[in-house]
């Protein structure tokens, strides 16, 4: 379980998050939604100790993220950040192999190699595994970074807009993989999503933010009402029922 | 392929060293070997120090056209020398023992680099993004400041003192001070051991701050450790031969071309060997084969500057 208690954050006097308290269920796929600048990425970075906490406490599986040694946390939680630029020239396989670093500290063994192979296969990167990252498309690069987080093989996986640059088929495949990971391997997954219907179809839990404030927090079915969507995104959206599935008609 | 190229570099280094010690040697062998041996050791130390410092600095800043010396180090060194001449006078300066002069420049360079880079990089350690542009601009502005200040001081001293100041601020691979070799060997050895122990963390840090933190590297601690190591290496090499601005850039980028790998366990020894090969080979060819009196540093700087321009024109600043 990820427990967030009265977390506030400001950058240069500008409030990014104000007094957020919530807990994300263990073993489920949670979606973080909200308009641009709502503070979704900041919240995710704070959970993953990429920024120092200013106010409040965050615990992951009972471990306080600001006190637990970084190496211990690296075996517990992985994050895929939004912008990934690289200085060194790496192949896809090199990059994915880095995901195993917290487990082997620079000396990979047989098990690490298997995990890397598994991650490459899971993201369908087998054919381009030997290519350099600066020679492949943005979507393929995005997949390589997801594969790296996958290879890290942590109980908690945080992904900041993982569907960026992905085509429809890849986006769908990635969401299915994430869903399987939480369903079958019991991993806790938190995803920042912009396409709310992916949240509607795959997420068990939805957290809605707006202007740094917590607007909605609950099971997917309860959150998907036109009133809640309107308070989060500030536009009227019809909710359609297709089978037992709710979908948000937000295209027009 | 990588192992073969490393072995090749090692062979080249051995070959150049033997050539350096023996070509055109006349007279008493004991004297020749002792005389050339200390010079060989000195040049090798400087070569390793510059190569490792540059590779570390480029990993730290995630940028392959930056070197510690491009960030105003050489200018700071020149300023320090000028200040010494200014306060002690040309005669007093030449009376200083090698150790005193070495440790004073070493301490000041260490403190200055920690203040300069520590404050700049320290912000990016906690903050959001690495601000490479600010880092670069600050370095350049400091360089100009140091340079203007030393030329101001040089205008105030008398012409004889000026000559002393000007020569001591020039790089020279011929006038390595043998008294300093033991001290600098020990310091470089300590820095190299520390670097080697963090070689795996360095690979991860090259991925960028967020990725490194995610993978459990103690980023802030390692950044400061790297700064201390870089400051020590640069200080030692500058104290031994004087400032060489572009040499590190030449060597590090040749290494990246020659050995396309991200692993510092390979990059660091390769860059060190390559750097030693260039300096020693260059010295042999220049002194013994071509009988030229052009200082090697001039040619190395010319080639390094050319590399810098090519890198910029090719737009490969990553």
Radius of gyration of chain B (CA): 20
The answer to whether position A15 is within a domain reads yes
Residue B130 has pLDDT above 60, yes or no: no
Shared domain check, A160 and A53: yes
Of the pLDDT bands very low, low, confident and very high (cuts 50, 70, 90), residue B281 is confident
The three-state secondary structure class of A207 is strand
| A213-219: strand order across its sheet | A77-80, A156-160, A188-192, A29-33, A205-210, A213-219
CA distance B263 to chain A (A): 10
Both tokens of B239, joined, read 């104290």
Of the pLDDT bands very low, low, confident and very high (cuts 50, 70, 90), residue B83 is confident
Shared domain check, A97 and A62: no
On the CB side of B9, CA atoms within 13 Å amount to 24
User: What domain count does chain B have?
Assistant: 1
Residues 139-198 of B with CB under 8 A from A: none
Radius of gyration of chain A (CA): 18
The answer to whether position A178 is within a domain reads no
Interface check A98 vs B, CB under 8 A: yes
* Cβ(A219)–Cβ(A198) below 8 Å: no
Shared domain check, A163 and A69: yes
The answer to whether the CB atoms of B218 and A70 lie below 8 A apart is yes
The answer to whether position A27 is within a domain reads yes
The answer to whether position A174 is within a domain reads no
* Cβ(A204)–Cβ(A182) below 8 Å: yes
Shared domain check, A163 and A64: yes
Report the distance separating Cα B265 and Cα A19, nearest Å: 46
* pLDDT tens digits, B28-81: 888 888 888 888 998 899 999 999 999 998 898 888 888 887 777 767 777 887
At how many degrees (to 10) do helices B132-156 and B73-95 cross?
30
B214 vs B121: which has the higher pLDDT: B214
Per the prediction, chain B carries an average pLDDT of: 81
The three-state secondary structure class of A214 is strand
Provide, as residue numbers in chain A, all residues whose Cβ is less than 8 Å from the Cβ of B209: 50
Task: Give the number of other Cβ atoms within 10 Å of residue B268's Cβ.
Answer: 22
| A14-24: strand order across its sheet | A14-24, A2-11, A55-60, A63-64
Q: Per-residue b/e over A112-126, b at no fewer than 16 CB within 10 Å?
A: beebbeebbebbbbe
Task: Give the number of other Cβ atoms within 10 Å of residue B141's Cβ.
Answer: 11
Report the distance separating Cα B263 and Cα B129, nearest Å: 24
* pLDDT tens digits, B243-273: 776 788 889 988 988 888 889 999 999 999 9
Contacts of B183 (CB under 8 A, 6+ apart): B99, B102
Interface check A114 vs B, CB under 8 A: no
Task: Give the number of other Cβ atoms within 10 Å of residue B129's Cβ.
Answer: 11
Report the distance separating Cα A204 and Cα A58, nearest Å: 21
* Cβ(B53)–Cβ(B230) below 8 Å: yes
Shared domain check, A137 and A238: no
Reported for B150-158, long-range contacts at CB under 8 A and 24+ positions apart, including other chains, are B150/B75, B150/B78, B150/B79, B150/B82, B150/B83, B153/B79, B153/B82, B153/B83, B153/B86, B154/B82, B156/B86, B157/B85, B157/B86, B157/B90, B158/B90
The answer to whether position A65 is within a domain reads yes
Both tokens of B269, joined, read 């020894």
The complex's ipTM works out to: 0.89
Instruction: Please name the member of A50, A74, A85 whose beta carbon is closest to the beta carbon of B216.
Output: A74
Shared domain check, A161 and A54: yes
Shared domain check, A228 and A140: no
Report the distance separating Cα B195 and Cα B53, nearest Å: 10
Residue B2 has pLDDT above 90, yes or no: no
Residue B317 has pLDDT above 50, yes or no: no
Residue B291: burial class (beta carbons within 10 Å; 0-12, 13-18, 19+): exposed
- For residue A119, the enclosing domain spans 77-153
Residue B214 has pLDDT above 80, yes or no: yes
Give the residue on B whose Cα is nearest the Cα of A82.
B210
Provide, as residue numbers in chain B, all residues whose Cβ is less than 8 Å from the Cβ of A86: 206-208, 318
Report the distance separating Cα B172 and Cα B52, nearest Å: 20
Residue B78 has what pLDDT? 75
pTM, to two decimals: 0.86
User: What domain count does chain A have?
Assistant: 2
Looking at the DSSP bridge assignments, the partners of residue A207 are A32, A217
Shared domain check, A147 and A162: no
Q: In residues, how long is chain B?
A: 318
Closest CA to B277 of B301, B307, B302, B247: B247
Instruction: Please name the member of A51, A74, A86 whose beta carbon is closest to the beta carbon of B215.
Output: A74
The dihedral through the CA atoms of B170, B175, B179, B185 has a sign that is positive
CA distance B60 to chain A (A): 10
The answer to whether position A99 is within a domain reads yes
- For residue B166, the enclosing domain spans 2-314
Report the distance separating Cα B276 and Cα B13, nearest Å: 7
User: What percent of chain B is modeled with pLDDT above 90?
Assistant: 20
Which region, left, alpha or beta, applies to residue A29 given φ > 0 means left and ψ of -120 to 50 means alpha? beta
Residue A243 has what pLDDT? 85
Shared domain check, A191 and A68: yes
Give the residue on A whose Cα is nearest the Cα of B209.
A50
Residue B316 has pLDDT above 70, yes or no: no
Residue B318 has what pLDDT? 44
Q: What is the pLDDT along chain A (252 residues), one digit of tens a residue?
A: 899 999 999 988 889 999 999 999 999 999 999 999 899 999 999 999 988 899 999 999 999 999 999 999 999 999 998 777 776 778 999 999 999 999 998 889 999 999 999 999 998 899 999 999 888 888 888 889 999 999 999 999 999 999 988 899 989 999 999 999 999 889 999 999 999 999 999 999 999 999 999 999 999 989 999 999 999 998 888 889 888 888 898 887
Regarding beta strands A77-80 and A156-160, do their DSSP bridges make them parallel or antiparallel, or are they unpaired?
Answer: parallel
Beta strands in chain A (DSSP E): 2-11, 14-24, 29-33, 55-60, 63-64, 77-80, 156-160, 188-192, 205-210, 213-219, 238-242, 245-249
Contacts of A130 (CB under 8 A, 6+ apart): A91, A92, A93
CATH for A13: 3.40.50.300
Shared domain check, A213 and A247: yes
The answer to whether the CB atoms of A70 and B206 lie below 8 A apart is no
CATH for B86: 1.10.3470.10
Q: Which helix (H) or strand (E) holds B75?
A: helix B73-95
């Amino acid at each position: 379980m990820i427990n967030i208690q009265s977390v506030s954050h400001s950058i240069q006097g500008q409030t990014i998050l104000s007094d957020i308290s919530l807990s994300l269920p263990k073993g489920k796929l949670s979606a973080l939604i909200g308009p641009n600048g709502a503070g979704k990425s900041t919240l995710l970075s704070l959970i993953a100790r990429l920024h120092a906490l200013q106010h409040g406490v965050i615990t992951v599986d009972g471990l306080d993220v600001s006190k637990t040694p970084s190496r211990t946390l690296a075996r517990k939680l992985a994050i895929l950040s939004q912008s990934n630029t690289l200085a060194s020239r790496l192949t896809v396989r090199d990059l994915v192999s880095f995901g195993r670093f917290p487990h082997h500290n620079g000396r990979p063994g047989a098990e690490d190699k298997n995990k890397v192979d598994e991650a490459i296969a899971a993201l369908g990167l087998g054919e381009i595994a030997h290519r350099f990252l600066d020679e492949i498309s943005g979507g393929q690069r995005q997949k390589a970074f997801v594969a790296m987080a996958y290879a890290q093989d942590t109980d908690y996986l945080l992904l900041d807009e993982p569907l960026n640059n992905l085509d429809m088929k890849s986006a769908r495949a990635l969401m299915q993989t994430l869903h399987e990971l939480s369903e079958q391997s019991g991993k806790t997954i938190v995803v920042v999503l912009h396409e709310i219907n992916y949240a509607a179809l795959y997420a068990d839990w939805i957290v809605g933010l707006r202007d740094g404030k917590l607007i909605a927090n609950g099971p997917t079915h309860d959150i998907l009402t036109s009133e809640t969507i309107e308070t989060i995104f500030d536009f009227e959206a019809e909710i359609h029922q297709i089978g037992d599935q709710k979908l948000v008609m937000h295209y027009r | 392929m990588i192992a073969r190229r490393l072995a090749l570099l090692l062979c080249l280094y051995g070959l150049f060293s033997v050539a350096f010690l023996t070509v055109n040697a006349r007279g008493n062998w004991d004297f020749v070997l002792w005389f050339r041996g200390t010079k060989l050791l000195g040049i090798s130390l400087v070569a390793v120090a510059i190569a490792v410092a540059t590779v570390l600095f480029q990993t730290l800043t995630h940028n392959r056209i930056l070197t510690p010396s491009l960030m105003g180090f050489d200018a700071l060194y020149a300023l320090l020398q000028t200040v010494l001449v200014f306060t002690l006078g040309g005669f007093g300066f030449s009376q200083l023992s090698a150790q005193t002069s070495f440790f004073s420049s070493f301490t000041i360079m260490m403190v200055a680099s920690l203040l300069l880079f520590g404050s700049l990089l320290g912000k990016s350690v906690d903050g959001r993004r690495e601000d490479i542009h600010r880092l670069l601009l600050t370095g350049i502005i400091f360089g100009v400041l140091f340079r203007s200040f030393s030329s101001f001081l040089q205008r105030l001293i008398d012409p004889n003192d000026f000559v002393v100041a000007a020569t001591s601020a020039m790089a020279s691979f011929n006038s390595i001070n043998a008294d300093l070799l033991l001290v600098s060997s020990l310091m470089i050895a300590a820095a190299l051991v520390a670097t080697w122990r963090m070689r795996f963390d360095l690979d991860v840090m090259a991925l960028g701050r967020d990725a490194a933190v995610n993978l459990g590297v103690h980023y802030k601690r390692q950044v400061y450790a790297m700064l201390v190591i870089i400051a020590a290496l640069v200080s030692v090499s500058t104290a031994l031969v004087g400032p060489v601005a572009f040499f590190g850039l030449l060597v590090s980028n040749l290494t990246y071309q020659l050995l396309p790998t991200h692993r510092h366990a390979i990059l660091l020894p390769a860059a060190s060997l390559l750097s030693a090969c260039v300096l020693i080979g260059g010295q042999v060819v220049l002194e013994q084969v071509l009988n030229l009196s052009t200082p090697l540093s001039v040619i190395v700087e010319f080639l390094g500057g050319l590399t810098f321009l090519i890198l910029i024109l090719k737009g490969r600043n990553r």
